[in-house]
Amino acid sequence: MGLYNLVEQLLPHEFSIYQFMAVLDMDREDAREARNILKQFYLRGYINRISKNMYSKTISNNK
């Protein structure tokens, strides 16, 4: 899962959707797509949602 590994390496433990979009070089118009990607990460247990625009990574045991 290359996209998640990129996010895991480049973003801090707690990050906003705007930081996520900046890492992926997304424009303002891509906010809906970014939220959908983050929702999939949440449903798979990779991240936790703190508030509407803030997320935190879950602790990974795969390292």
Structural domain boundaries in the chain: 2-57
3-class SS letters over the chain: CHHHHHHHHHCCCEEEHHHHHHHCCCCHHHHHHHHHHHHHHHHCCCEEECCCCEEEECCCCCC
> Which amino acid type is present at position 1?
M
Is the pLDDT assigned to residue 63 strictly greater than 60?
no
- Whether pTM > 0.85 for this model: the answer is no
Q: What is the mean pLDDT of residues 24-32?
A: 94
Protein fold of 2-57:
Arc Repressor Mutant, subunit A (1.10.10)
Tell me, what's the pLDDT at 5?
84
Residue 1 — pLDDT band, cuts 50, 70, 90? low
Non-local (6+) Cβ contacts of 19 within 8 A are 11, 12
